Amino acid sequence: MSDTIHPILKSMMPLVEGIANTFGKNCEVILHDIRNPQSSIIAIHNGHVTGRTVGSPMSEYGLTTLRKGQFDKPIINYKKKTKDGRLLKSSSLFVKDESGKCIGFLCINYDISEMTVIKNIINDLTNINEEVNFNEESTEGFGNTVNDVLSSIVNKTLESVGKPVAYITKEEKVNIVQMLDDKGVFLIKGAIDYVAKVLCVSRYTIYNYLDEIRVSD
């Protein structure tokens, strides 16, 4: 695999372990090669934070960022939650080649759950009347396989519709496909067939929906 990695990304691989070791076991550092979203992780340290390894796919957030293609500024210190409820302080930096084309993501996920607990205790002891509410934080679609990520995104999108697939109209299905497209789902190999099966339509219908959506964009 290393022979096919861009030289700039290859030169950054030692940084992954160095940054992670500097900030300790709660700091996960990941280097993504964006050419292959379904197996994008080429280097990772402290992968226990999100349960991923080398060869794991890009997360839901990463797919959405890739689909939007907005790589002008790094995304620093945003909040995410793991499936088991741990709070992450995350940053995504974009790696570009000599021509300015984005070729990779360097991502840092710092598990601040323990520090958040300590913060709450200190706030309580010093009578600081501050409520910490994370209910609005989204649950990230992390997964160690691309199918995990795909099913997580699709399931959450369907839940937002609020009705069984059998009662979803064509217009709603088109809207669902548009939401999935915006999240980068169709960058994943096999996503067309998976979404078609879930929505009980043919793969050609999904292609038609995508053509309709992208023409109107």
Task: Give the domain ranges of the chain.
Answer: 2-119, 146-216
Model confidence band, residue 144 (pLDDT cutoffs 50, 70, 90) = confident
0.85 cut: is pTM over it? no
CATH topology of domain 2-119: Beta-Lactamase (3.30.450)
Question: Strand 75-81's sheet: what is its strand order?
Answer: 41-45, 27-33, 102-111, 87-96, 75-81
Q: pLDDT tens digit string along 67-98?
A: 999 899 999 999 998 888 889 999 999 999 99
**Which residue's structure tokens are 């994008």?**
40
Range in 7-21, 106-120, 130-144, 179-193 with the lowest mean pLDDT:
130-144
Tokens of 91: 């940053």
